[in-house]
Amino acid sequence: EEFIDSVLQTYEGEAISDVVDFLSKELIRLQEERRIEAFAILAERNRRLREAEESGLRQLLKMTQNTVDTYLEDIILDSMNECASEQARIEIQEKAVKINEIANEIEQRRTQFESEGIVAELVHGFLIPEIAKQESRAKGSFLDFQLILY
């Protein structure tokens, strides 16, 4: 009977040893799985942080580039406007000199009667219509004033 007990204890010991060994290996495997999962989560978190930083940097660079583009466009437009204004001023001065020369030439050639005709045309073409406009405005203002009173 001792022999049977010792054989049974041997088999029980082997079975228990196998179960404990299996459980030990399973525990180590689960611990490794959890450790790998933790590394994967940490790596994913780091990747998201890098992507967020890169996205923020791209947005900042895009905003900076847009600001620089706008600034340069403004400078170019201002310099073009200044150049165009200067060119227009030069052309106007040249044309004024030519017109003045032509006017002096015409003035030297015309008679007293022609001068009076020019003055009459100016009065008829500019002064009379201007006076009519001012009277019309004055009447309009007066009518508006009367409408407000009533």
Look at residue 41 and tell me whether its pLDDT is greater than 90. Answer: yes
Where is pLDDT greater, at 126 or 2? 2
Identify the pLDDT of residue 29.
96
Give the CA distances from residue 7 to residues 14, 15, 20, 21, in Å, rounded to whole numbers and listed in that order: 10, 12, 20, 21
Q: What is the pLDDT of residues 63-78, one digit of tens each?
A: 999 999 999 999 999 9
**pTM for this entry:** 0.40
Helix residue spans in the chain (DSSP H):
2-109, 112-122, 128-149
Query: Longest C-alpha distance within the chain, in Å?
Result: 162
